[in-house]
Chain A
Amino acid sequence: MTAEKKPEILLVDDNPADLYLFREALGAGEVESLLTTVPDGEEAIAFLYRSGKFQSATRPDLVVLDLNLPRKDGRGVLANAKSDPNLRLIPIVVFSTSCSRTDIVDCYALGANCYVSKPGSLGDFRKAVQSIEHFWLRVARPSA
């Protein structure tokens, strides 16, 4: 990642209302980043492997992943990406409505870099998105 290149986030979420909120929260954040969105797990994997319609995709600096997705769900994406020696270097933040203990533990077991529950109120949702962005794109050191 060079100094002038904007960091890239891949957001995997099928809910347009959440995509909008996420984009809105990022826009108000401190880091200028590029946001790409895909609506399901299969497209997410295709994007990461730059296959099919994603031949010209660039490697994201961060993946933000919803759990309940059509076709391949978030667990499937984690299992796939975290068993690939190259893809496993990309941090994946699970961002889901569920606060169920089982979901959380399952995701960490599959290699999620962290698990954040989508907060219920608008203010807390924005704070959560901005702290994900701040931590993974500013505070944490990237692998590449």
Chain B
Amino acid sequence: MTQAGTAIAPALGTPVDTGPALRFLLLEDSDDDSELVTHQLKSGGFHFTSETVKTAEQFRQTVRTLRPDIILADYNLGEWRGMDALDILREESMDIPLILVTGALGEVTAVDCIKQGAADYVLKGGLTRLPLAIRRTLEDKRLREQRKHAEEELAAKVKELARSNRDLEQFAFVASHDLQEPLRMVAAYTQLLAERYRGKLDENADKYIGYAVEGALRMQALIRDMLAFCRVGRTASDRNHADCNAAVRAALLNLRATVEETGTVVTYHQLPFVAADPTQLIQLFQNLIGNAVKFHGKEKPLIRVSAERRDDKWQFAVADNGIGIAPEHKDVIFVIFQRLHARNEYEGNGLGLAICQKIVEQNGGKIWVESEAGHGSTFLFTLPARCERERA
């Protein structure tokens, strides 16, 4: 049996809630107690409507139609218990706070009820506490919803950011890939012009063609590196059994011309296996050793590659005796397209170290540099060691 809901004016001298009326649902089999609770709500200053139900079936129906803001439930309702209402709420997927308003309840039982999801409990002997318990419960719910909303918003933003990042990488990849073909034509035919007509036009023509060839070749290198940068994130990395000795050997083979030209000496001994993508590992060593050769000082370049075990990671060092890096530049050198030197001093497009950073981070490590201008640089990076299972 339900009691018709009525808006009740608050007693004088109590705080008054403004805004829409709160909807209370009372679960109470004693009409007297129901009256007492309603009276307490009234004198608590609530602007509200309320309904009272007695049976589980009534509760289920009323909770659906009324959608109450809060439920005040007696513990013992004859055939069922106020706590059973929580199960019904769960079945109905409704998140409505429930306060037990009950006669004497043992401390153990009370704690148990809170554990099972009751928001609070108020003894019928101390009903004056009820308004405070309700306000606190409603405030908790509001905060909980606010936090949930903020979390959902954040998750949506993160997802959106990841998607736009993916789109951007996809765009960079496709654009670079498709630029290769027309650029190859420009490079090949300007070279053909240079070859066939050198000295046959005039001095300026030779110079112009020379600039065109140089520009096209530089752009090819840039596109190649941009593709390499994009690929690090695109291809699923095969992080297993990567032999760093083999990677350094392969890197040196790719760098053979410059290494021989500059008389560079590279030393490395018994480097470990790491859990990393072998192709990316070659690129990583190639870029770091290549940089060490490029930025050499007055002396013959000496490069030492070494590794130390640090817990579950290996820490690598690529140390050189080159021109070094000023402390204020230690972080910016890893930023994409960031360069520290004019093109006529050192060739480059500012992608090499950005690629290194992306590779190391993609494989679960960190990269940084220790250096002093004029005293060489040491690039350090970590990579996960092979796991024990693989070692067997």
Q: Which residues of A contact B (CB under 8 A)?
A: 15, 17-18, 21, 24, 97-101, 118, 120-123, 125
Contact = CB atoms under 8 A, between A and B. Distances in A.
28 contacts: A15-B181, A15-B185, A17-B185, A17-B188, A18-B185, A21-B188, A24-B192, A97-B180, A97-B184, A98-B177, A98-B180, A99-B227, A100-B177, A101-B235, A118-B184, A120-B180, A120-B183, A120-B184, A120-B188, A121-B188, A121-B191, A121-B220, A122-B187, A122-B191, A122-B192, A122-B195, A123-B191, A125-B188
Contacts of B188: 17, 21, 120-122, 125
B189 interface: yes
Contacts of B235: 101
Contacts of A15: 181, 185
B217 interface: yes
A100 B177 CA distance: 9
A52 B119 CA distance: 85
B220 A97 contact: no
B185 A120 contact: no
Interface of B: 177, 180-181, 183-185, 187-189, 191-192, 195, 217, 220, 227, 235
A17 B187 contact: no
Given A120-B183, A121-B191, 14 more contacts: A17-B189, A21-B188, A21-B192, A97-B181, A98-B177, A100-B177, A101-B235, A120-B220, A121-B187, A121-B217, A121-B220, A122-B187, A122-B191, A122-B195
Nearest to A118: B184
B69 to A, nearest CB: 57
A84 B227 CA distance: 36
Nearest to B180: A97
Nearest to A101: B235
Contacts, number: 37
Nearest to B227: A99
SS class of chain B's interface: helix, strand, loop or mixed?
Answer: helix
A28 B320 CA distance: 44
A15 B188 CA distance: 13
Contacts of B191: 121-123
A18 B180 CA distance: 13
B355 to A, nearest CB: 16
Contacts of B177: 98, 100
Nearest to A102: B235
B189 A120 contact: no
Contacts of A18: 185
A17 to B, nearest CB: 5
B20 to A, nearest CB: 60
A39 B217 CA distance: 28
Nearest to A21: B188
Contacts of A125: 188
A139 to B, nearest CB: 24
Contacts of B192: 21, 24, 122
Nearest to B221: A120
B234 to A, nearest CB: 10
Contacts of A98: 177, 180
Best-buried of B188, B195, B220, B227 by chain A (most CB within 10 Å): B188
B180 to A, nearest CB: 5
A120 B181 contact: no
A15 B184 CA distance: 12
A100 B230 CA distance: 12
Nearest to A68: B181
A118 B294 CA distance: 28
Best-buried of A97, A98, A100, A118 by chain B (most CB within 10 Å): A97
Nearest to B279: A101
Best-buried of A24, A98, A120, A121 by chain B (most CB within 10 Å): A120
Nearest to A98: B177
A15 B187 CA distance: 15
A24 B195 CA distance: 13
Contacts of B217: 120-121
Contacts of A120: 180, 183-184, 187-188, 217, 220
B149 to A, nearest CB: 42
Contacts of A118: 184
A17 B227 CA distance: 24
Nearest to A125: B188
Which 9 A-B residue pairings sit nearest by Cβ, starting from the closest?
Answer: A122-B191, A120-B220, A97-B181, A122-B188, A17-B185, A97-B180, A120-B184, A120-B187, A21-B188
A43 B74 CA distance: 87
Contacts of B184: 97, 118, 120
